[in-house]
Amino acid sequence: MNARACTVLLVLLLPLAAVYGQDKKDALELYRNGDYRQAMQVCLEELEEMPNRMDAYAVLGWSLLKLERYQEALDYGQKALAVSRYDPRLIEINGEALFYLGRRREALALFEEYAAIAPTGGRIEVVYFFMGEIFIQEGQYHRADIALSTALYHSPNVASWWARLGYAREKAEDFQWALEAYNKALALNPNQADAGRGKSRVEGRLSGG
């Protein structure tokens, strides 16, 4: 094929390439728009073509977590870690899946690993929140206080997290500090039911009731 023929063929194919590029869906954009099923499908198609594509594994994992398909999130997350063991996104996804599957100690180990290798990572506040929840479930209320306080340092406007911090402090019998946390939760959301009940309990303890 001569140079002129190649040029003509290229001109004819360029519009087709542009259309294909427009038709190809962006999994991350779909995820951010709340279309988790479609994001999942796009990621699976990408992984068929490129089995080691970590971005696809990450968005797939996030989508499966949103869909509450925790075992699948863990299955794919473990495959991803076999490819790239220290990708913090996949470490967090695996930890979150394990948490929801009730495997708290395994989840905690991964959350602690994420905090060590990605202390300013995009999911650091969520990681500390889950750590706090695990410590509450295990009755380690002072450690829960530290973890939840750290989560709130990164994201101070989550009323439900303030309520959980208040609960951890209440269980540790730090009633004045518990009241402060409950009050912050209610300042952010006056309808936060857990904080309202906790505040009533704590005020009763502080007044000797």
Which residue is listed with tokens 């989508």? 63
Identify the pLDDT of residue 208. Answer: 82
Rg (CA), the chain: 23
User: In this structure, are 129 and 109 located in the same domain?
Assistant: no
Please check whether residues 163 and 195 belong to one and the same domain.
Answer: yes
Position 206 in a domain: yes
In this model, does residue 10 exceed pLDDT 60?
Answer: no
Q: Is residue 14 part of a domain?
A: no
Among the residue ranges 6-15, 25-34, 118-127, 185-194, the one predicted with the least confidence is 6-15
pLDDT (0 to 100) of residue 6: 42
In the predicted model, what is the mean pLDDT of residues 131-150? 98
Which one of 117, 135, 158 terminates a domain?
117
Tell me, what DSSP letter sits at residue 163?
A: H
Domain stops at, among 88, 117, 146 = 117
Q: Decide if 206 contacts 179 (C-beta within 8 A).
A: yes
Query: H helices of 33-174, where?
Result: 36-49, 54-66, 70-83, 88-100, 104-117, 124-137, 141-154, 159-171
Last residue of a domain, one of 92, 117, 142: 117
pLDDT of residue 209: 64
What integer pLDDT is reported at residue 25 of this predicted model?
86
| Residues 104, 187 within the same domain | no
Is 98 inside any structural domain?
yes
Are 186 and 202 in a shared domain? yes
The residues, ordered by sequence, that sit 6+ positions from 194 with a Cβ below 8 Å of its Cβ are 160, 163, 164, 167, 185
Domain-embedded: residue 12: no
Convert the pLDDT of each residue in 156-185 to its tens digit.
999 999 999 999 999 999 999 999 999 999
Clarify whether residues 96 and 172 are in a common domain: no
Supply the mean pLDDT for the chain.
Answer: 91
**Position 61 in a domain:** yes
Given this model, what pLDDT does residue 24 score?
A: 59
Within this chain, do residues 106 and 130 fall inside the same structural domain, yes or no? no
Residue 5, pLDDT > 90, answer no
The string of pLDDT tens digits covering residues 93-111 is 999 999 999 999 999 999 9
Please give the single-letter amino acid code of residue 180: E
Domain region containing 168: 123-209
How far apart are the C-alpha atoms of 85 and 91, rounded to whole Å? 8
Distance CA 164, CA 194 (A): 8
Of 16-20, 106-110, 149-153, 169-173, the range with the lowest mean pLDDT is 16-20
**Are 48 and 69 part of one and the same domain?**
yes
In a domain, 10, yes or no: no
Evaluate whether residue 191 is within a structural domain. Answer: yes
Q: Is position 57 within any domain?
A: yes
pLDDT of residue 183: 98
| Count of domains observed in the chain | 2
- Cβ within 8 Å of residue 179, ≥6 positions away: 166, 199, 202, 203, 206
Q: What is the DSSP letter of 24?
A: S
CATH of the domain at 185: 1.25.40.10
Has residue 52 got a pLDDT over 50? Answer: yes
**Band (54; pLDDT cuts 50, 70, 90):** very high
Average pLDDT rounded to a whole number, residues 33-59: 97
Residues 84 and 170 grouped into a single domain? no
**Does residue 22 have a pLDDT over 90?**
no
